[in-house]
Amino acid sequence: MDRAEIDEKIEQYGRGFELLTAALAEVPFEAWSYRPAPDEWSVHEIIVHMADSESMSALRARKLIVEPGSMLMGYEEAKWADALGYKEQSAEDALEIIRLARQSTYELLKRQPDEVFRHSVIHPEYPDHPYTFEGWLNIYARHIPDHIEQLKTSYRAWKDSQG
């Protein structure tokens, strides 16, 4: 990726929380706890997952900046959801975590020199190849938009269940 592409990805990343709040404004609160299927998350659970994932991604970005070549911590999101009781956690607090993690990391990314985006670390889920900063940026520029699609699917299922 050249610097113009990196900057565009950073801007996409920076717009994530705004996109999320706009999407959530279209979902009535009574639909937030609906699970489309036993093995699928509700809007509420998606939000709490995003808080954990955005926190993890913010730490990973910092690790990529400061400690290239080091090992990242992996995590199994389904286990986290069950063990941490996503249904019982505050969606309001989770949204604040997402906002702060995104905003602080966005500001940090904008200040990084080109060479930082060539850094890589070791990701336990991809042990055979380096986990690059460009890869991180591609994943997390799409993270919130991908989950917006997931919560829209949950909302549509809820609407269908209402008759």
- Over residues 90-124, the pLDDT tens digits come to 999 999 999 999 999 999 999 999 999 999 999 99
Q: How confident is the model at residue 127 (pLDDT cuts 50, 70, 90)?
A: confident
Give the residue from 152, 154, 125, 146 showing the smallest Cα distance to 39: 154
15-35: string of b/e by CB count within 10 Å (b at 16+)? bbbeebeebbeebeeebbebb
pLDDT of 93 reads: 98
- Over residues 8-59, the pLDDT tens digits come to 999 999 999 999 999 999 999 999 999 999 999 999 999 999 999 999 999 9
pLDDT of 62 reads: 98
Residue 152: pLDDT over 90 = yes
Q: How confident is the model at residue 67 (pLDDT cuts 50, 70, 90)?
A: very high
Angstrom distance (rounded) from CA 119 to CA 66: 9
pLDDT of 35 reads: 95
Identity of the amino acid at 71: M
Residue 163: pLDDT over 90 = no
pLDDT of 126 reads: 87
The CATH code of the domain at 3-161 is 1.20.120.450
Long-range contacts of 15-20 (CB under 8 A, 24+ apart): 16/102, 16/140, 16/141, 16/143, 16/144, 16/145, 17/98, 17/99, 17/102, 17/103, 17/144, 19/144, 19/145, 19/148, 20/50, 20/95, 20/98, 20/144, 20/147, 20/148
Residue 2: pLDDT over 90 = yes
Judge whether 61 and 108 are in contact, CB under 8 Å: yes
